[in-house]
Structure 1
Amino acid sequence: MRILHVLSAEFFAGSVAYAVQLAEAHRAQGHQVWLVSDAAELPTGATLVPAPISNRRYGQRLRNARLIRRLIRAEDIHVVHAHSRAASWVSYAALRGLKVPLVSTVHGRQHLHASTSLFDIYGDKVIAICGNLRTHLVTEVKMEAAKIVEIPNGVGFGNEELSDGTSSSSEPPRLAFIGRFNGGKGERAAALLHQVFPVLMREFADLRVALIGGELEHLPEAGKSALEQLQAKFGERVEVVGFTTDVPGWLARTTLVIGAGRVAIEALGAGRAVLALGEASYDGLVTEATFGTAAASNFGDISAAQAPATVDFAAVLAEARAYLQAPQPVTAALRQQVQAHYDLAAVAARVLETYQTARMRKAVPGFIPVLMYHKIPDAPLATKHQIYVTKDNFAKHLAYFRSRKLTPITFADYLRYASGERPLTEFPPRPIILTFDDGYLDNYTNLLPLMQQYGYRGVLYLLGDFEVRYNQWDLAADPTEPRADIMDPAQKQAFVAAGWEIGAHTMSHPRLSTLPLPEATREIARSKTALEKALQTEIVSFAYPYGDLSEPVKQAVRAAGFALGVATDTGGLHLEDDRMQVFRINMFPNETASSLFKKTSGWYRKYYRWKRGK
């Protein structure tokens, strides 16, 4: 994709670090990236275009918007990603009348004034970095919940191994406050300097206190006074570091970190204990048990509802004292929790999916019919399931699709348009996706020749276990069901050669939600690996057997590396409502011209939801 980031970068805050790391992660994957920023220099190989984004004067905002609009047109930008309210404002203005989507990452609570609700400046999709922020945007800002996706800030964790998260015997204990020293963070630092650090330094004779972060000159006056007193009394044990690019080095020499947001994430990922203290709250010592709550507030930085940001610094002192008296290693489980939740590669993948979602919702706002077929036999079958369409009737379906100027595409095709690999100008005006489950022999003998006759391609969902040669799941449930043979490997390969997409359908066709989650996860992941190895083709979509799914099962499909999960009779109004639960339409033996018209019409999904409540 061709991605443009717009950000306020008067100083190197966590949001700037996030944007830069995201840009580098996407560049490493082959995407082209531009940054429009206050800063003339940033640690990135992306193309950097300086502009005073933080300047809120209306004349300058207009000039910024014009600059961004020219850049979008000149470089054929696919998506704009704004990282502050000021960046969202100018990007929103720049994109008026263009079909390029705007994605905004909201890093903190938004001011509740009229323009926040009147003008939807945040664009087509909004990334909330934590649970509390999502709640705030929905309940207080009144933002449409469907446009918000919760994705944390990504962090590129180092591979260095720290012994156990505690200081060695040769290193004095060190308590570090890491963060900005202006605004709310500065007020927290001032209170620590006045109420917490002097007591601890008296009680622990060799304790060092490090102050690490930018904007130290903007520390509140009460804080500056307390710092001077602390330095006068304890001398070199007070380490005023200020801004540094060697935060990992300081973490390696620190016993206990006080901080929030990205600071807390990096410290925990590196095995350093953290007291989560942010602008909104004090969340205490982060443990396996408290991680979920702390992560929801971005480690104390963000509250879900407007409330006084009061902190009991006596509690901070008590917890810091208890930890320094008996330091406990950060457990491997907690460290893994943190690294999994904030892993930069995983976050970059989810952000990229958000870009694609915004792009396709803007370019293709209507419903794309996804039809679900199974067997294509020569004659009607004596089966209660009615999941077949005879060869002759299917030929009529294809003739109908052509008469209605419907163009069959695959999910793989769709993803190529979404990613920018294929231009949206080539996207068919009336797309349809034809899918076929299980891989029955009659798909090879009847389906494939008919589709080739029309020049059509579809999506074939196969089991990963090629030893399964008939519909044994049907017979296990009802021995009176007719046996239906499944294709051999060479016949399956013929579909790959014909340009079809192959999708995964588990290894053995179980009801996934009834299995223990580890077993369901194996069925899902192994089917992708087995099919890619056997057929030498990329597998991007997964079909849930029986349409049976649950939220944990959907998460397992995403974790296995699938871009899409297709359901049966459930899912959103638009494919991009939930890529892990794409709505498919059952096709039956006695479809008529009227039912084909209905099932391939743009209004059908809304009608089905109204009629069935699904």
Structure 2
Amino acid sequence: MYHRVAEVDLDPWSLCVTPQHFAEHLEVLQKYVRPISLQQLAQAHRDDKIPHRAVAITFDDGYADNLHHAKPLLERYDIPATVFVTTGNIGKQREFWWDELERLVLQPQRLPEKFSLKIKTTTHHWELDAATCSEDDLKCDRHPWKAKPGSRLFFYYSIWQLLQPLPESDRLKTLDEISAWAMVEPIARPTHYSLLPEELLALDQGELVEIGAHTVTHPFLSAHSVAFQRHEIQQSKADLEEILNRPVTSFAYPHGDRTTETVELTRTAGFDCACSTVQNIVWRQSHCFDLPRFGVDNWNGEEFAKQLSRWFYD
């Protein structure tokens, strides 16, 4: 499971693998395992004939760098991949909300020392230990919730927790409030763009890349009603099929979050398979609508090979 192939100054959730390291990963995969598409893996699982050392590559969210950086490398090594796209961000001039929040509060600009934010009926208050942001503030190793209390990263994660369950409209309104407080211009960074409709079509061209659905607004599905979940799942499929003019049959649960009801909603929506974020291999007892995946960090090729061997043999 990948998200981005890019180099950025700050990556609090460890979503980025550099193009150099991604190329090294593909070289390792080409040398030691059998890369196949997700749909091939799902069909082989249904047939109880998964090829020896089969591996499928996936990307979550739908960043533009999946087209500009990842696809050329996939083509160079002739390795297939599935890109799960959050459709509400297609063509938008705003970053994904977690990236926008990072841009507002984790960049080195000076911030006011106090901040208050009203969410529904509760007002939350923060006092920043330092109005400026140091490198130590941003050390996280994919775990912002482990940040030191009072640090800028702790401040970021505290707000992230409040924004995450909000409806999309309320979340964006709150981000506008934070932007005004931080006195930061609401300008999306080119390095964090989502796919445009024409880029989605370009990504879909050829035989190597499959486009899958990843909901409309990237929610924790289990926190919402069945009706809300059904809309997020079905609408993301419909959005992509309208742009691509073909069936979309693969799905990934945002954050890997799902319930038994969520899984059934995905199946009845017309998908063939769905991916979680449970770290495990796909084997006979795996569920085709709850396929596990291993998350990949920005390892060099040697470290990636070590991780790959652990996944296959541990």
Flag whether TM exceeds 0.5 (same fold): yes
Q: Which amino acid aligns with 2:3?
A: H
- TM-score after normalising by structure 2: 0.65
**Is the CA contact 2:4–2:17 (under 8 Å) kept in the aligned structure 1?**
yes
Separation in 2, partners of 1:399, 1:571: 22
Counterpart of 1:375, as a letter, is R
Q: Deviations over 1:11-69 (max 9, x none)?
A: xxxxxxxxxxxxxxxxxxxxxxxxxxxxxxxxxxxxxxxxxxxxxxxxxxxxxxxxxxx
Is 2:275–2:292's contact at 8 Å kept on the other side of the alignment? yes
Return the offset for 1:561: 1.7
Partner of 2:18: 390
1:413 equivalent in structure 2? 40
Aligned pair 1:374/2:3, yes or no? yes
Q: Secondary structure at the match of 1:588?
A: coil
Is there any run of 5+ residues in structure 2 with no aligned partner, and where?
108-188
**Shift of residue 571 of structure 1?**
6.3
**Alignment check: 8 A CA contact 1:585 1:599 kept:** no
Contact 1:570–1:581, Cα closer than 8 Å, also in 2: no
- Find the structure with the greater CA-based Rg: 1
1:459 aligns with 2:88: no
Distance of 1:596 and 1:401 partners within structure 2: 8
Pair 1:475–1:387, CA change in 2 (3 A):
closer
Match of 1:496 among 178, 187, 204: 204
- The answer on whether the counterparts of 1:376 and 1:443 sit within 8 Å (CA) in structure 2 is yes
Instruction: Verify: 1:473 aligned to 2:97, yes or no.
Output: yes
Deviation at 1:591, TM superposition (A): 4.7
Aligned counterparts of 1:442 and 1:517: Cα–Cα separation in 2: 33
Distance 2:301 2:75 in 1: 23
Once residues 242 and 10 of structure 2 are traced to their aligned partners in structure 1, the CA distance between those partners, rounded to angstroms, is 36
2-side partners of 1:440 and 1:559: how far apart? 27
Equivalent-residue separation in structure 1 for 2:218 and 2:91 (angstroms)? 13
1:292-371 alignment to 2 at 5 Å?
none
Equivalence for 1:401: 29
Change (3 A) 1:400 1:557: same
Is the CA contact 1:572–1:578 (under 8 Å) kept in the aligned structure 2?
no
1:486 aligned partner: 194
Summarize deviations over 1:188-242 as a string: whole Å, max 9, x none.
Answer: xxxxxxxxxxxxxxxxxxxxxxxxxxxxxxxxxxxxxxxxxxxxxxxxxxxxxxx
Instruction: For residue 463 of structure 1, report the CA deviation from its aligned partner.
Output: 1.9
Residue 62 of structure 2 corresponds to which residue in structure 1?
439
Aligned length: 228
- Evaluate the alpha carbon distance shift between residue 477 and residue 396 of structure 1 in structure 2; reply closer, same or farther with a 3 A threshold: same
Partner residue in 2 for 1:88: none
Alignment of 1:1-150 (within 5 A): none
Deviation at 1:416, TM superposition (A): 4.7
Task: Report how far residue 392 of structure 1 moved.
Answer: 0.8
> How far is 1:468 from its partner?
3.8
Q: 2:244 aligns with which of 526, 529, 535?
A: 535
Whole-angstrom CA distance in 2 between matches of 1:601 and 1:497 = 34
CA shift, 1:429, in A, is 3.6
Instruction: Answer whether contact 1:473 1:509 (CA < 8 A) is retained.
Output: no
- 1:558 correspondence with 2:267: yes
Structure 1 residue matching 2:299: 3-state secondary structure: coil
1:461–1:543 contact (8 Å) kept in structure 2: yes
Does the 8 A contact of 1:507 with 1:524 survive in 2? yes
The whole-number CA distance in structure 1 between the counterparts of 2:83 and 2:284 is: 18
CA distance 1:602–1:441, shift in 2 (3 Å): closer
| Partner residue of 1:508 out of 194, 217, 221 | 217
Equivalent residues of 2:92, 2:194 under 8 A apart? yes
Question: Is the Cα contact below 8 Å between 2:21 and 2:301 reproduced in 1?
Answer: no
Q: What TM-score do you get using the length of structure 1 for normalisation? A: 0.34
Is the counterpart of residue 518 in structure 1 residue 227 in structure 2? Answer: yes
Q: Cα–Cα, structure 1 residues 575 and 587, in superposed 2: closer, same or farther, change >3 Å? A: farther
Determine the C-alpha separation between the residues in 1 that align with 2:42 and 2:75.
23
Match of 2:113 in 1: none
Contact 1:502-1:537 within 8 A present in 2 as well: no
Q: Secondary structure at the match of 1:373?
A: coil
Letter in 1 for 2:272: A
Q: Is the CA contact 2:91–2:197 (under 8 Å) kept in the aligned structure 1?
A: no
The higher-RCO structure (CA 8 Å, 6+ apart) is: 2
The aligned residue for residue 585 of structure 1 is: 294
1:389 deviates by: 0.2
Q: Deviations over 1:306-357 (max 9, x none)?
A: xxxxxxxxxxxxxxxxxxxxxxxxxxxxxxxxxxxxxxxxxxxxxxxxxxxx
* TM-aligned CA distance change 1:584 to 1:575, over 3 Å: farther
Q: Give the drift of 1:569.
A: 2.5
1:168-205 deviation digits (Å, cap 9, x = unpaired):
xxxxxxxxxxxxxxxxxxxxxxxxxxxxxxxxxxxxxx
Please state how far the C-alpha of 1:601 moved relative to its aligned partner: 5.0
CA distance in 1, matches of 2:226, 2:93: 26
Kept in 2, the 8 Å contact 1:475–1:481? The answer is no
Read off the aligned partner of 2:21 and give its amino acid letter: N
| Structure 1 residue ranges without an equivalent (≥5) | 1-371, 608-614
CA contact (8 A) 2:96 2:194 kept: no
**Paired AA for residue 480 in structure 1:** V
In structure 2, what is the Cα distance between the partners aligned to 1:467 and 1:380?
21
Distance 1:568 1:456 in 2: 21
* Separation of aligned partners in 1, 2:66 and 2:36: 18
Q: Give the Cα–Cα distance (whole angstroms) in 1 for the partners of residues 57 and 93 of structure 2.
A: 23
* 1:562 CA drift (Å): 1.6
